[in-house]
Amino acid sequence: MSVAHKVALVTGAAQGIGRGLSEILLKHGAKVLLTDVNQAAGDKTLAELTAKYDQSRVAFVQCDITKQEQLETAFATAKSQLGGIDIVVNNAGIGDEGDRWENTVDVNLKGTVKATKMAIDNLRKDRGGKGGVIVNMASMAGLNPNPCGPVYCATKAAIIMFSQCWGMNPDVTGNGVRINILAPAFVDTDLVKQQLQKGKDVIRPDIAAMMVERVGIMPVEQVAEALLELVTDESKHNAVLKISASTGKSYQ
């Protein structure tokens, strides 16, 4: 599957991994709707990407993925401004383990569930879609226990199982929709840096630092290349692609 002339919607796209995922799709000819809860960061990223690419190929919508109506607006904008939807990348996520831990469940799990269900409804051919591919952002933390992030790990493990259950559904596979899961280890982002700092929202940053030293930290570009593989290789469906600085890529 070539991404050229396809339309992608990427959540959490204003910075970090989401921006990297968006840019690799743009580099290969896709149109991309950037969505993010952070309006200022989204506007800045939009300006920078439109300076590099045709402005008709990239747009931004502020979107809190926990809000159904904001998700609906984002999907409608992808259709009205960019011409449709072929690729949905559910990347938005946070890692609060403190008093606001429920926000981590709301964004990572509930938000991904909402966005995935909406993506399926928009892509499946029996409901007017053209088919396409959904990639949900999980984590190696959803496969391997991590004492620094029990809530985060639980949400990422749930994303893997949720995605694979939908991937087995004949209403999905029979209507031209593929679902894949990307599970990176530590990536050079603000979220990882947050886990290495002491604070009430972080559990045992000393252990996190030891884990990072052992596993290593990947550049965002390495994760972006893995995304491109899951999108373009049409043999990949219900696949969990694991990736880390120390071991490279492997499938679950």
Q: Give the Cα separation of 244 and 233 in Å (integer).
A: 20
d(CA 47, CA 58): 10
Give the DSSP per-residue string, 162-174: HHHHHHT-HHHHT
Cα–Cα distance, 76 to 150 (Å, whole number)? 35
Residue 32 phi/psi, 5-degree rounding, is -135, 130
Catalytic residue among 152, 162, 166, 186: 152
Q: In a 10 Å sphere around its CB, with 0-12 CB exposed, 13-18 middle and 19+ buried, how is residue 54 labelled?
A: exposed
Structure tokens given for 166:
């939908």
Active site residue 152: yes
Residue 109 gets which letter from DSSP? I
Residues with a catalytic annotation lie at 152
